[in-house]
Amino acid sequence: MKTLSLKVPETLNDRLEELAKETRRSKSMVIRMAIEEYQRRGRRAQLNSFLAQARDLAGSVDGPPDLSTNQKRFRGYGR
């Protein structure tokens, strides 16, 4: 196993020590678990993002090009 050194703010270190104590794990184990979870979520988030899901729909709707900027189109909105 490789060794990694990092600097964290004191408040984060305090929370890390508290979590390690609560879970009866070492700080290193808590950090490893957090990094692994972050990697898993990051990959899922990329695959399940709205953009990824709707990519094939982009540009498939016809409508006025000035819908969000033309004040005339806002008449009656929200009433």
Q: What is the CATH number of the domain that holds 44?
A: 1.10.1220
Higher-pLDDT residue of 34, 75: 34
Name which residue leads in pLDDT, 14 or 50.
14
Task: Indicate whether 40 belongs to any domain.
Answer: yes
Q: Is residue 66 situated within a structural domain?
A: no
Contact 27, 18 (CB under 8 A): no
Q: Say if 17 falls within a structural domain.
A: yes
What domain range is 15 assigned to? 8-52
In a 13 Å sphere around the CA of 57, the CA atoms on its Cβ side amount to: 6
Residue 76 included in any domain = no
| Model pTM score | 0.53
Whether 64 is covered by a domain: the verdict is no
Residue 57 within any structural domain of the chain: no
CA distances from 16 to 73, 75, 78 (A): 53, 54, 47
Give the chain's domain count.
Answer: 1
pLDDT at 15: 96
- Indicate whether 32 belongs to any domain: yes
